[in-house]
Amino acid sequence: MRLLVTGGAGYIGGVVTALLLRSGHEVTVLDDLSTGHRDAVPGGARLVVADLADAADVLDPSVEAVLHFAGKSLVGESVDAPGAYWRTNVAGSLALLEAVRRHGVRRMVFSSSAAVYGEPVSPGPIAETDPAVPTNPYGASKLAVDHMLASWARAYGLGAVSLRYFNVAGAHLGLGERHDPETHLIPNLLRVAAGERDSARVYGTDYPTRDGTAVRDYLHVADLADAHLRALERVVPGTHRAVNLGTGGGHTVREVLDAVRRATGHPVPAVDSPRRPGDPAVLVAANDRARRDLGWTPTRTLDETVADAWAFARALPRP
Protein backbone atom coordinates (compact mmCIF):
# COMPACT_ATOMS: atom_id res chain seq x y z
CA MET A 1 0.00 0.00 0.00
CA ARG A 2 1.02 3.64 -0.44
CA LEU A 3 0.95 5.16 3.02
CA LEU A 4 1.43 8.48 4.76
CA VAL A 5 2.88 8.29 8.28
CA THR A 6 2.72 11.48 10.34
CA GLY A 7 5.29 11.69 13.13
CA GLY A 8 7.45 9.00 11.54
CA ALA A 9 10.60 10.65 12.96
CA GLY A 10 9.44 9.91 16.50
CA TYR A 11 9.96 6.80 18.60
CA ILE A 12 6.75 4.88 17.88
CA GLY A 13 6.15 6.32 14.41
CA GLY A 14 9.70 5.34 13.46
CA VAL A 15 9.37 1.75 14.64
CA VAL A 16 6.03 1.33 12.84
CA THR A 17 7.49 2.89 9.67
CA ALA A 18 10.39 0.41 9.76
CA LEU A 19 7.97 -2.48 10.09
CA LEU A 20 5.72 -1.18 7.30
CA LEU A 21 8.72 -0.92 4.96
CA ARG A 22 9.76 -4.47 5.85
CA SER A 23 6.26 -5.63 4.96
CA GLY A 24 6.57 -4.11 1.49
CA HIS A 25 4.58 -0.90 1.95
CA GLU A 26 5.63 2.39 0.38
CA VAL A 27 5.90 5.07 3.06
CA THR A 28 6.05 8.85 3.03
CA VAL A 29 6.78 10.37 6.44
CA LEU A 30 5.38 13.81 7.29
CA ASP A 31 7.18 15.24 10.32
CA ASP A 32 8.06 18.77 11.42
CA LEU A 33 11.11 17.43 13.34
CA SER A 34 10.06 19.48 16.39
CA THR A 35 10.56 16.48 18.67
CA GLY A 36 11.48 13.72 16.22
CA HIS A 37 14.94 13.13 14.81
CA ARG A 38 15.77 12.96 11.11
CA ASP A 39 17.91 9.86 11.75
CA ALA A 40 14.94 8.07 13.35
CA VAL A 41 13.21 7.94 9.95
CA PRO A 42 14.04 4.51 8.58
CA GLY A 43 15.94 4.37 5.30
CA GLY A 44 13.56 3.60 2.45
CA ALA A 45 10.90 6.07 3.60
CA ARG A 46 10.55 9.46 1.93
CA LEU A 47 10.71 12.28 4.50
CA VAL A 48 8.73 15.48 3.99
CA VAL A 49 9.54 18.06 6.67
CA ALA A 50 6.24 19.85 7.10
CA ASP A 51 3.51 20.71 9.56
CA LEU A 52 0.18 18.86 9.85
CA ALA A 53 -1.43 22.05 8.52
CA ASP A 54 0.36 21.32 5.22
CA ALA A 55 -1.00 17.77 4.97
CA ALA A 56 -3.19 18.62 1.98
CA ASP A 57 -0.04 19.42 -0.04
CA VAL A 58 1.66 16.18 0.94
CA LEU A 59 -1.27 13.82 0.43
CA ASP A 60 -2.47 12.73 -2.99
CA PRO A 61 -5.27 10.40 -4.12
CA SER A 62 -2.87 7.48 -4.57
CA VAL A 63 -2.32 7.32 -0.79
CA GLU A 64 -4.45 4.46 0.52
CA ALA A 65 -4.05 5.01 4.25
CA VAL A 66 -2.72 7.43 6.84
CA LEU A 67 -1.11 6.38 10.11
CA HIS A 68 -1.23 9.41 12.41
CA PHE A 69 1.41 9.53 15.17
CA ALA A 70 2.36 13.21 15.13
CA GLY A 71 1.49 15.01 18.33
CA LYS A 72 2.64 16.23 21.68
CA SER A 73 2.61 13.64 24.44
CA LEU A 74 3.77 14.93 27.82
CA VAL A 75 1.02 14.90 30.42
CA GLY A 76 2.65 17.45 32.78
CA GLU A 77 3.49 19.84 29.95
CA SER A 78 -0.12 19.65 28.74
CA VAL A 79 -1.32 20.84 32.15
CA ASP A 80 1.13 23.77 32.25
CA ALA A 81 0.88 24.81 28.60
CA PRO A 82 -2.38 23.43 27.17
CA GLY A 83 -2.50 25.65 24.08
CA ALA A 84 0.11 23.63 22.24
CA TYR A 85 -1.90 20.46 22.89
CA TRP A 86 -5.13 21.83 21.44
CA ARG A 87 -3.22 23.39 18.54
CA THR A 88 -0.98 20.50 17.54
CA ASN A 89 -3.01 17.49 18.60
CA VAL A 90 -6.52 18.74 17.83
CA ALA A 91 -6.23 21.55 15.24
CA GLY A 92 -3.38 19.64 13.55
CA SER A 93 -5.47 16.47 13.37
CA LEU A 94 -8.42 18.44 11.99
CA ALA A 95 -6.24 19.82 9.18
CA LEU A 96 -5.06 16.27 8.45
CA LEU A 97 -8.62 14.93 8.41
CA GLU A 98 -9.74 17.68 6.05
CA ALA A 99 -6.92 16.69 3.71
CA VAL A 100 -7.87 13.02 4.09
CA ARG A 101 -11.40 13.83 3.02
CA ARG A 102 -10.29 16.07 0.15
CA HIS A 103 -8.05 13.35 -1.29
CA GLY A 104 -10.47 10.47 -0.68
CA VAL A 105 -8.18 8.49 1.66
CA ARG A 106 -10.19 5.51 2.95
CA ARG A 107 -8.27 4.26 5.99
CA MET A 108 -6.73 5.79 9.05
CA VAL A 109 -4.95 4.46 12.13
CA PHE A 110 -4.53 6.91 15.00
CA SER A 111 -2.23 6.94 18.07
CA SER A 112 -4.66 7.43 20.90
CA SER A 113 -3.85 6.86 24.56
CA ALA A 114 -4.96 5.26 27.79
CA ALA A 115 -4.91 8.86 29.04
CA VAL A 116 -8.42 9.25 27.54
CA TYR A 117 -9.81 7.18 30.44
CA GLY A 118 -8.51 9.44 33.21
CA GLU A 119 -8.84 8.01 36.70
CA PRO A 120 -10.07 4.40 36.26
CA VAL A 121 -13.42 3.47 37.79
CA SER A 122 -11.87 0.36 39.40
CA PRO A 123 -8.34 -1.05 39.82
CA GLY A 124 -9.13 -3.83 37.32
CA PRO A 125 -8.30 -3.81 33.59
CA ILE A 126 -9.78 -0.87 31.64
CA ALA A 127 -12.14 -1.70 28.76
CA GLU A 128 -12.92 0.50 25.76
CA THR A 129 -16.51 0.70 27.01
CA ASP A 130 -15.40 2.27 30.33
CA PRO A 131 -16.05 5.99 30.82
CA ALA A 132 -13.54 8.21 29.04
CA VAL A 133 -13.06 11.18 31.37
CA PRO A 134 -9.55 12.55 30.82
CA THR A 135 -7.88 14.33 33.71
CA ASN A 136 -5.42 16.41 31.67
CA PRO A 137 -5.35 18.30 28.33
CA TYR A 138 -3.18 15.62 26.72
CA GLY A 139 -5.83 12.95 27.31
CA ALA A 140 -8.60 15.37 26.35
CA SER A 141 -6.85 16.16 23.06
CA LYS A 142 -6.53 12.46 22.20
CA LEU A 143 -10.20 11.85 23.04
CA ALA A 144 -11.23 14.82 20.87
CA VAL A 145 -9.50 13.23 17.89
CA ASP A 146 -11.12 9.86 18.63
CA HIS A 147 -14.49 11.65 18.39
CA MET A 148 -13.41 13.49 15.25
CA LEU A 149 -12.54 10.18 13.57
CA ALA A 150 -15.91 8.70 14.55
CA SER A 151 -17.68 11.65 12.95
CA TRP A 152 -15.59 11.34 9.77
CA ALA A 153 -16.44 7.64 9.58
CA ARG A 154 -20.15 8.40 9.81
CA ALA A 155 -20.19 11.40 7.48
CA TYR A 156 -17.63 10.42 4.83
CA GLY A 157 -17.21 6.65 5.06
CA LEU A 158 -13.68 6.78 6.49
CA GLY A 159 -12.48 3.56 8.09
CA ALA A 160 -10.64 4.52 11.28
CA VAL A 161 -9.07 2.83 14.29
CA SER A 162 -7.93 4.66 17.45
CA LEU A 163 -5.27 2.55 19.11
CA ARG A 164 -5.21 3.44 22.80
CA TYR A 165 -1.68 2.82 23.99
CA PHE A 166 -0.86 1.97 27.57
CA ASN A 167 2.85 2.25 28.57
CA VAL A 168 4.95 1.64 25.48
CA ALA A 169 8.60 0.78 26.05
CA GLY A 170 11.58 -1.10 24.61
CA ALA A 171 13.31 -0.79 21.25
CA HIS A 172 13.00 -2.55 17.91
CA LEU A 173 14.80 -2.52 14.56
CA GLY A 174 17.46 -0.19 15.98
CA LEU A 175 14.97 2.45 17.12
CA GLY A 176 14.12 3.35 20.71
CA GLU A 177 13.10 6.10 23.10
CA ARG A 178 14.95 9.41 23.32
CA HIS A 179 13.00 12.12 25.12
CA ASP A 180 14.35 15.41 26.33
CA PRO A 181 13.47 16.08 29.07
CA GLU A 182 13.01 12.43 30.04
CA THR A 183 9.98 11.71 32.23
CA HIS A 184 9.38 8.01 31.51
CA LEU A 185 10.24 5.35 34.02
CA ILE A 186 12.30 2.84 32.03
CA PRO A 187 14.55 5.37 30.23
CA ASN A 188 15.12 7.17 33.54
CA LEU A 189 16.19 3.95 35.26
CA LEU A 190 18.48 3.10 32.34
CA ARG A 191 20.17 6.51 32.63
CA VAL A 192 21.15 5.59 36.16
CA ALA A 193 22.40 2.17 34.99
CA ALA A 194 24.46 3.91 32.29
CA GLY A 195 26.07 6.18 34.91
CA GLU A 196 24.46 9.37 33.58
CA ARG A 197 22.60 9.91 36.87
CA ASP A 198 23.41 8.92 40.43
CA SER A 199 19.95 7.70 41.41
CA ALA A 200 16.39 7.27 40.21
CA ARG A 201 13.15 8.27 41.91
CA VAL A 202 10.23 6.07 42.86
CA TYR A 203 7.18 8.34 42.73
CA GLY A 204 4.75 7.18 45.40
CA THR A 205 5.21 4.27 47.80
CA ASP A 206 1.80 4.44 49.50
CA TYR A 207 -0.47 3.31 46.66
CA PRO A 208 -2.96 0.50 47.43
CA THR A 209 -0.95 -2.00 45.35
CA ARG A 210 1.08 -5.14 46.17
CA ASP A 211 4.25 -3.22 47.07
CA GLY A 212 2.87 0.31 47.45
CA THR A 213 4.15 1.58 44.08
CA ALA A 214 2.04 2.34 41.01
CA VAL A 215 1.12 -0.38 38.52
CA ARG A 216 1.34 0.16 34.75
CA ASP A 217 0.90 -2.07 31.70
CA TYR A 218 4.26 -2.01 29.88
CA LEU A 219 3.96 -3.05 26.22
CA HIS A 220 6.96 -3.78 24.00
CA VAL A 221 7.05 -1.39 21.04
CA ALA A 222 7.47 -4.36 18.65
CA ASP A 223 4.15 -5.82 19.82
CA LEU A 224 2.60 -2.36 19.53
CA ALA A 225 3.91 -1.96 15.97
CA ASP A 226 2.55 -5.37 14.99
CA ALA A 227 -0.92 -4.25 16.11
CA HIS A 228 -0.72 -1.24 13.76
CA LEU A 229 -0.12 -3.43 10.72
CA ARG A 230 -3.07 -5.59 11.70
CA ALA A 231 -5.29 -2.55 12.26
CA LEU A 232 -4.33 -1.19 8.85
CA GLU A 233 -5.37 -4.43 7.14
CA ARG A 234 -8.59 -4.89 9.06
CA VAL A 235 -10.02 -1.39 9.30
CA VAL A 236 -13.57 -1.32 7.92
CA PRO A 237 -14.69 1.67 5.79
CA GLY A 238 -17.46 3.70 7.40
CA THR A 239 -16.59 2.58 10.93
CA HIS A 240 -14.51 3.91 13.80
CA ARG A 241 -13.27 1.59 16.51
CA ALA A 242 -11.25 2.35 19.66
CA VAL A 243 -8.92 -0.50 20.60
CA ASN A 244 -6.76 -0.73 23.73
CA LEU A 245 -3.17 -1.86 23.28
CA GLY A 246 -1.59 -3.32 26.39
CA THR A 247 -0.46 -6.72 27.63
CA GLY A 248 -3.41 -7.08 30.01
CA GLY A 249 -1.00 -7.41 32.95
CA GLY A 250 0.70 -4.85 35.14
CA HIS A 251 4.01 -4.30 36.91
CA THR A 252 4.80 -2.05 39.86
CA VAL A 253 7.56 0.54 39.74
CA ARG A 254 9.63 -1.68 42.05
CA GLU A 255 9.16 -4.67 39.72
CA VAL A 256 10.38 -2.56 36.80
CA LEU A 257 13.34 -1.46 38.90
CA ASP A 258 14.20 -5.11 39.57
CA ALA A 259 13.91 -5.92 35.85
CA VAL A 260 16.30 -3.07 35.06
CA ARG A 261 18.76 -4.32 37.70
CA ARG A 262 18.61 -7.83 36.17
CA ALA A 263 19.03 -6.60 32.58
CA THR A 264 21.87 -4.20 33.28
CA GLY A 265 23.69 -5.86 36.18
CA HIS A 266 23.78 -2.41 37.80
CA PRO A 267 22.45 -1.75 41.33
CA VAL A 268 20.39 1.31 40.14
CA PRO A 269 19.97 3.21 43.43
CA ALA A 270 16.42 4.57 43.76
CA VAL A 271 15.08 7.12 46.23
CA ASP A 272 11.52 6.83 47.53
CA SER A 273 9.74 10.08 46.65
CA PRO A 274 6.26 11.60 46.94
CA ARG A 275 3.58 10.69 44.41
CA ARG A 276 3.72 12.56 41.10
CA PRO A 277 0.53 14.69 40.92
CA GLY A 278 -2.16 13.11 38.76
CA ASP A 279 -0.67 9.59 38.64
CA PRO A 280 -3.39 6.93 39.19
CA ALA A 281 -2.52 3.82 41.23
CA VAL A 282 -3.22 1.24 38.52
CA LEU A 283 -3.53 1.48 34.72
CA VAL A 284 -3.89 -1.90 33.03
CA ALA A 285 -5.53 -2.63 29.67
CA ALA A 286 -8.31 -5.05 28.98
CA ASN A 287 -7.06 -6.21 25.57
CA ASP A 288 -9.84 -8.62 24.53
CA ARG A 289 -10.94 -6.31 21.72
CA ALA A 290 -7.43 -6.13 20.24
CA ARG A 291 -7.13 -9.91 20.45
CA ARG A 292 -10.51 -10.45 18.79
CA ASP A 293 -10.66 -7.62 16.23
CA LEU A 294 -6.99 -7.59 15.24
CA GLY A 295 -6.09 -11.24 15.87
CA TRP A 296 -3.27 -9.78 17.98
CA THR A 297 -1.38 -11.34 20.87
CA PRO A 298 1.40 -9.44 22.64
CA THR A 299 4.32 -11.84 23.13
CA ARG A 300 7.24 -9.97 24.74
CA THR A 301 7.84 -10.02 28.50
CA LEU A 302 8.89 -7.09 30.69
CA ASP A 303 12.42 -8.56 30.85
CA GLU A 304 12.66 -8.60 27.04
CA THR A 305 11.28 -5.06 26.86
CA VAL A 306 13.85 -3.77 29.35
CA ALA A 307 16.72 -5.73 27.74
CA ASP A 308 15.90 -4.28 24.30
CA ALA A 309 15.63 -0.75 25.73
CA TRP A 310 19.04 -1.25 27.42
CA ALA A 311 20.71 -2.47 24.21
CA PHE A 312 19.38 0.62 22.42
CA ALA A 313 20.44 3.00 25.23
CA ARG A 314 23.96 1.56 25.30
CA ALA A 315 24.39 2.04 21.56
CA LEU A 316 23.55 5.77 21.79
CA PRO A 317 26.41 8.27 21.72
CA ARG A 318 27.14 9.60 25.24
CA PRO A 319 25.76 13.13 25.78
Least distance in angstroms from the C-beta of 114 to ligand UPG: 4
Stretch of 102-110, 123-131, 275-283, 289-297 lying at the interface with ligand UPG (CB under 6 A): 275-283
Given phi > 0 = left and psi -120 to 50 = alpha, else beta, which region is 199? beta
H or E element at residue 241: strand 240-245
Residue 276, interface with ligand UPG (CB under 6 A)? Answer: yes
By CB under 6 A, what part of segment 34-93 binds ligand UPG?
73, 75
As a whole number of angstroms, the distance between CA 99 and CA 147 comes to: 17
Q: Which of 287, 306, 230, 232 is nearest to 114 (CA)?
A: 287
Q: Tell me the residue type at 110.
A: F
**CA proximity to 214, closest of 224, 227, 226, 201:** 201
192 sits near ligand UPG (criterion: CB under 6 A): no
Q: Quick one: which of 152, 166, 310, 312 contacts ligand UPG (CB under 6 A)? A: 166
| Number of residues engaging ligand UPG in binding (CB under 6 A) | 22
Q: How far is the CB of 73 from ligand UPG (least distance, A)?
A: 5
Interaction of residue 261 with ligand UPG, rule CB under 6 A: no
Residue 263 CB, nearest approach to ligand UPG (Å): 16
Q: Is 293 a binder of ligand UPG (CB under 6 A)? A: no
Does 279 help bind ligand UPG (rule: CB under 6 A)? yes
Q: How far apart are CA 272 and CA 24, in angstroms?
A: 48
> Which of 103, 106, 184, 230 is in the footprint of ligand UPG by CB under 6 A?
184
Does the protein bind ligand UPG through residue 130 (CB under 6 A)? no
DSSP 213: S
Q: Which is nearer to ligand UPG, 15 or 202 (CB)?
A: 202
3-state class of 145 per DSSP? Answer: helix
In a 10 Å sphere around its CB, with 0-12 CB exposed, 13-18 middle and 19+ buried, how is residue 14 labelled?
A: buried
Q: Which of 17/167 has CB closer to ligand UPG?
A: 167
- With CB under 6 A as the contact rule, the residue among 20, 41, 114, 229 that binds ligand UPG is 114
Cα separation of 101 and 152, whole Å? Answer: 8
Backbone angles phi, psi at 101, to 5 degrees: -65, -45
Would residue 207 show up in a list of annotated catalytic residues for this protein? no
Q: What is the CA radius of gyration of the chain?
A: 19
Q: Is position 283 an interface residue for ligand UPG (rule: CB under 6 A)?
A: yes
Asked whether the beta carbons of 71 and 92 are under 8 A apart, the reply is: yes
Alpha-carbon distance of 80 to 224, in angstroms, equals 29
Spot the catalytic one: 11, 85, 117, 138. Answer: 138
243 binds ligand UPG, rule: CB under 6 A: no
Region near ligand UPG per CB under 6 A, out of 23-31, 39-47, 53-61, 179-187:
179-187
Cα atoms in the Cβ-side hemisphere of radius 13 Å centred on 227: 33
User: Is 200 one of the binding residues for ligand UPG (CB under 6 A)?
Assistant: yes
305 binds ligand UPG (CB under 6 A): no
Question: Catalytic positions, please?
Answer: 138
Residues that bind ligand UPG (CB under 6 A): 73, 75, 113-115, 166-167, 183-185, 188, 200-204, 214, 216, 253, 276, 279, 283
